[in-house]
Structure 1
Amino acid sequence: MSLIDHTLDPLPRRTTRTDHDVRGGRVWFSTDTIDRARSYNDISWLRTARTAIFGAGLITLGLLLGSGGGTSLLILAGIGAVAFNLPALILKASYTAKAG
């Protein structure tokens, strides 16, 4: 058993050789990752991306205001918001492409 806690790990987990899809074939990601991606199917793109949109707004505002300590914090906060929302966007896009 691993001593590392992976409960907050945003990266998709690769599957073991025992995971199979509904047709009996092997799947690339674990069923937990697929279920998490499937949960984004009912949520709109706007709702899924709202944190990234807010972060892009902070980055734009920081770039428009010019140089300074406050604008640097705006840009860093925006980058953090986009990075925080990136796993949700990847899961939504991957399941939408698979379902569509």
Structure 2
Amino acid sequence: MSHRFGELWSVALGDREEVRLIVSGDFYHTLYNDNVLTAHVESADMANTLTAFAIDVGEGQAAIVDRISTVAAVRLKGKVGDLPEAQLATVRGMISTIFGLTG
């Protein structure tokens, strides 16, 4: 299964499915190639209430970039969208701010 930064996937979690934004990078995959780092997706109103690190992903939803979690790649069930290219730099900037990364 192929997935990349900035894609939205349906993720099976127990008896439910959620949409998550893929935010993992190559270095993470090198260490744990069976896992993916994802950002939680909530209703846009809720996401913007909870954090300043929310990215509009369309259809009234937003990814909460400061709520990143590990998901086993086998739980990724189907790609449901892509972030527009213009938003990818914003997501990277938010991740850098949250985790203190540079470059």
Superposition TM-score, scaled by structure 1 size: 0.23
Q: Which has the larger radius of gyration?
A: 1
Superposition TM-score, scaled by structure 2 size: 0.22
Structure with bigger strand share is 2
